């Protein structure tokens, strides 16, 4: 392949699955049992998530792609030339293709994803489609990223791309901490292009996470299948049911795995008792108003430059500029779903 610059994946520290046993035991020991959502995204889970993105009821992916397409000239002119583009949770890099095809010159593209096989597949494919583009994939949990690889060509600026409303997986306090780290990593000329799912009626939100074909249910139950396969747990998959209600108070979709009867599941040397109707929380998906998210970004050291949205205000793509990268990554917790890294530390 002439002109293709593709570096082998670097492993972020720690690797995505190293902590599965420990984090699963810690999560299931909480008063409200939980499993961190990053463990949904193994190879099979990533495949199912891609399938979710194409569901009729799941509006975010296609709405965001349309927003990107409709405004691509303005978006890419705000990013400018010779940027180092870093994507957090790159998946198949489908949305990124719009950007790559329209950005004039680039220092390089750095996709970060927790699913190694998918990352490598899509990086190889991209390298073929964009010969001459430097691609430096990083296999890692993006929440654990502490440095971004240097590109051969010195970038004029670093721009983070965080699409899909994946920021919604963090609770708002953790989201501020994470965006602050992005500001720190991108530095003084840095930018952030981020997709944010907007608050909207339950009647639209809940079907998006409880689809009729049952793909989201399969995706959610997959985390128990993975625990059985990789950790030797004995979850009875037929005794848990997927349910994803919108919690109006917190402005978030909550993915639950509801125990259909009283039962006990075993993991390592631990026994976890479930009452009938008790559930495991596997993922939060926070929804934001525009002022709500702009305020959050401001506290993380970003200022809002531009908002693009669809005519129905379902979804926003925001362009933000680093105001204060010196705020630094302080207070960053690796915690998802309310299990902060610090609390875990204290348990050791
Ligand atoms: C990956 C966080 C963007 O919250 O909409 C979709 C994950 N879970 N359906 C979302 C998800 C169930 C998705 N994000």
| Interval 182-238: pLDDT, tens | 999 999 999 999 999 999 999 999 999 999 999 999 999 999 999 999 999 999 999
Q: CA 173 to CA 191: how far, in whole Å?
A: 21
Residue 329 has pLDDT above 60, yes or no: no
Q: How confident is the model at residue 7 (pLDDT cuts 50, 70, 90)?
A: low
- 166 pocket-lining for ligand 1 (C-beta < 6 Å): yes
Distance (Å) of CA 230 to CA 139, 273, 312, 341? 19, 21, 43, 23
What pLDDT, on a 0 to 100 scale, did the predictor assign at position 342? 36
pLDDT of residue 19: 85
Any atom of ligand 1 within 6 Å of the Cβ of 170: no
pLDDT of 348 over the 60 cut:
no
- 34 pLDDT higher than 90: yes
Give strand ranges (E) for the chain: 5-6, 10-11, 83-88, 106-113, 134-135, 138-139, 157-162, 191-197, 240-243, 246-247, 252-259, 263-267, 270-274, 279-286, 302-309, 315-322
Ligand 1 atom 5: the closest Cα is on which residue?
A: 285
Is pLDDT above 60 for 243?
Answer: yes
Q: What angle do CA 67, 73, 307 make, to 5 degrees?
A: 45
Instruction: Report the percentage of the chain scoring pLDDT > 90.
Output: 84
Cα 159 to Cα 6, 192, 256, 301: the distances in Å are 20, 5, 34, 14
The mean predicted confidence, pLDDT, of the chain is 90
The confidence score (pLDDT) of residue 331 equals 44
pLDDT at 326: 72
* Average pLDDT estimate for 137-161: 94
Compute, in angstroms, the gap from residue 235 CA to the centroid of ligand 1: 23
Measured in angstroms, how far is the CA atom of residue 262 from the centroid of ligand 1? 29
Given a cut of 90, whether residue 345 has pLDDT beyond it is: no
CA-atom Rg of the chain in angstroms: 20
Q: Is 301 in the pocket of ligand 1 (CB under 6 A)?
A: no
Query: Residue 324's pLDDT band (boundaries 50, 70, 90)?
Result: confident
Q: Which residue has the higher pLDDT, 175 or 345?
A: 175
């Amino acid at each position: 392949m002439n002109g293709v610059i593709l570096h082998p994946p670097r492993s972020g520290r720690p690797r995505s699955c190293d902590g599965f046993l420990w984090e699963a035991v810690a999560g299931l020991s909480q008063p409200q049992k939980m499993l961190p959502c990053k463990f949904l995204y193994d190879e099979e889970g990533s495949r199912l998530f891609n399938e979710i993105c194409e569901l009729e009821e799941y509006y975010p992916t296609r709405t965001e792609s349309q927003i990107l397409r409709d405004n691509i000239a303005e978006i890419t002119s705000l990013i400018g030339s010779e940027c180092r583009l870093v994507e957090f949770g790159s998946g198949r890099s489908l949305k990124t293709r719009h950007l790559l095809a329209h950005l004039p010159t680039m220092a390089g593209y750095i996709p970060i994803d927790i699913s190694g096989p998918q990352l490598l597949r899509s990086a190889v494919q991209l390298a073929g489609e964009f010969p001459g583009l430097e691609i430096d994939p990083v296999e890692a949990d993006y929440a654990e990223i502490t440095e971004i690889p240097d590109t051969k060509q010195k970038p004029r600026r670093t721009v983070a791309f965080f699409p899909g409303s994946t920021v919604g997986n963090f609770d708002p306090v953790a989201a501020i901490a994470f965006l602050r780290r992005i500001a720190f990593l991108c530095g003084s000329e840095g930018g952030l292009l981020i997709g944010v799912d907007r608050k909207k009626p339950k009647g639209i939100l809940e079907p998006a996470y409880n689809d009729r074909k049952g793909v989201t249910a399969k995706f959610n139950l997959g985390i128990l299948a993975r625990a059985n396969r990789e950790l030797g747990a004995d979850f009875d998959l037929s005794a848990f049911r997927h349910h994803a209600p919108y919690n109006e108070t917190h402005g978030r979709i909550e993915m639950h795995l509801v125990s259909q009867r009283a039962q006990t599941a075993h993991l390592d040397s631990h026994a976890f008792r479930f009452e009938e109707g008790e559930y495991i929380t596997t993922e939060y998906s926070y929804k934001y108003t525009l002022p709500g998210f702009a305020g959050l970004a401001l506290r993380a050291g970003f200022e809002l430059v531009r908002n693009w949205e669809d005519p129905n205000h379902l979804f926003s793509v925001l362009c933000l500029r680093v105001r204060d990268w010196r705020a630094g990554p302080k207070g960053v917790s690796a915690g998802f779903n309310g299990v902060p890294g610090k609390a875990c530390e204290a348990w050791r």
